[in-house]
Structure 1
Amino acid sequence: MTIIVKFGGSLTRGAAPHTLLQRLAGQRGLVVVPGGGALADAVRAVQPQWRLTDGAAHRMALLAMEQMAHAMADLAPGLVPACSRAELAQAATVGTALWFPAAMTLGRAEIPESWAVTSDSLSVWLAAELSAERLVLVKAPGLRLPAPAGSRAGDIAAWTGLGLVDAAFATMAQGFRGDILLVPADEAGRLDDALRPGKKERDIIGEVKPEDGSKEGSRPS
């Protein structure tokens, strides 16, 4: 059973995330999806300056994720690089796969070329492609999550309204039947549970901290 772990871009905008990457490396059955982070931010900054189309910016942001994967592989050599479905499946059987997304995503008709699609939506798209058991979106430390809404649609609507996932996430998630969890990076126990195959979603969610009105930001890449 495969668990997709989307490594939030907010986790890459400061000091190098050695500790968390090392924690993920070497666990069988995991596939890490890199957020674009500061590299995608550079694309956002240059787009209006150069009057680039959203299509060009989207493709550049995908390559920012690809660059981030190279950085993560350097920081945590235990991660196993993979570019295709076959490589991801093989890598996840021996350790933690690290997705280099360009080969699978550039030019795909079902992936809109706009800022509505960031690495959050790409991670749930990949989860559907791999028939994963669960998608875990690892977000900024200290993030306060809204209380469970009682339905997936309600949860995703709340996450979208707070800027915790991108605008296309709800649509992209329709093709995925597994669990979807948001976990702050500093909640070690909950993250460990979320990465454990077979662990029930209701046992992982437990009691979440109430949302206090703050947002992770409008850039869920």
Structure 2
Amino acid sequence: MWVVKIGGSLSRDPLLKEWLQHLSEFGGGRVVIVPGGGEFADQAREHQAVWRFDDVAAHNMAVLGMAQYALMMQGLCRRLVIAATDAQIREALRAGRVAVWAPLDLLFQEPNRLTTWDVSSDSLAAWLANRLNAERLVIVKSCEVEPACTIEAYATQGIVDRSFAGFTRDAPYPVDIVNRNDGSRVRDRLLHATAD
């Protein structure tokens, strides 16, 4: 199973529909999409800056932003299945579908290692990939991505969050950080993996 995180920066990008089409057509039973927070999560940041509420509330608002993006993705591609829990994800995959994670089980009352701005949807995607024993983690970004970079270098450049390296350090799966224009390459890799 692959976990594919689609950045919130693609929420207004015409390529979003292409990504969803490729994944729904060729990833049935094998792909879980993690939506980024994007502008939905930015609203949490902006309101926290005004009102100075704690990071637990801001984290929960950002998680709800990811859920909103998940609903938008399903609205664009009805073949996708919204899944909030591990059981719902596995049920969708067993049915040969592609799950879109709406991480409502990550709403917390107390602070923990996930309730900080150092943990973005990138790290949450890695957290989910670890939890589900994924075969591969793909992070789709709008910015330019240098393929030869290390995860630490991506974090230094702000391409992934500061906690991402910790979540992927001992990962038994490959981590691909790709540009939004790499959809056909990811599709071909997914097809090749299916044929193996």
TM-score, length of structure 1 as denominator length: 0.78
Give the direction of change, closer, same or farther, for the CA distance of 1:109–1:48 in structure 2 (3 Å limit). Answer: closer
SS of corresponding position for 1:17: helix
Find the aligned partners of 1:88 and 1:38 in 2 and give their Cα distance: 25
Where does residue 18 of structure 2 map in the other structure? 19
Find the aligned partners of 1:22 and 1:166 in 2 and give their Cα distance: 27
User: Which structure shows the higher helix fraction?
Assistant: 2
Q: 1:9 is matched by which residue type in structure 2?
A: G
Find the aligned partners of 1:112 and 1:32 in 2 and give their Cα distance: 19
Where does residue 156 of structure 1 map in the other structure? 151
Of all paired residues, the percent bearing the same amino acid is 37
Q: Deviations over 1:65-93 (max 9, x none)?
A: 11111111111111011121121112123
Give the direction of change, closer, same or farther, for the CA distance of 1:25–1:14 in structure 2 (3 Å limit). Answer: same
TM-score, length of structure 2 as denominator length: 0.87
Find the aligned partners of 1:127 and 1:20 in 2 and give their Cα distance: 19
Give the direction of change, closer, same or farther, for the CA distance of 1:197–1:57 in structure 2 (3 Å limit). Answer: farther
Find the aligned partners of 1:126 and 1:41 in 2 and give their Cα distance: 22
Q: Which runs of 5+ in 2 are unaligned?
A: none
Give the direction of change, closer, same or farther, for the CA distance of 1:14–1:188 in structure 2 (3 Å limit). Answer: closer
For the Cα contact (< 8 Å) 1:43–1:60, is it kept in 2?
yes
Where does residue 81 of structure 2 map in the other structure? 80
* Number of corresponding residues: 190
Q: Which runs of 5+ in 1 are unaligned?
A: 150-154, 200-221
Find the aligned partners of 2:17 and 2:146 in 1 and give their Cα distance: 28
- Note the 1:161-172 alignment, pairs <5 A: 161-172=156-167
Offset of residue 16 of structure 1: 8.4
- Note the 1:114-133 alignment, pairs <5 A: 114-133=116-135
RMSD value, Cα:
2.2
Where does residue 182 of structure 2 map in the other structure? 187
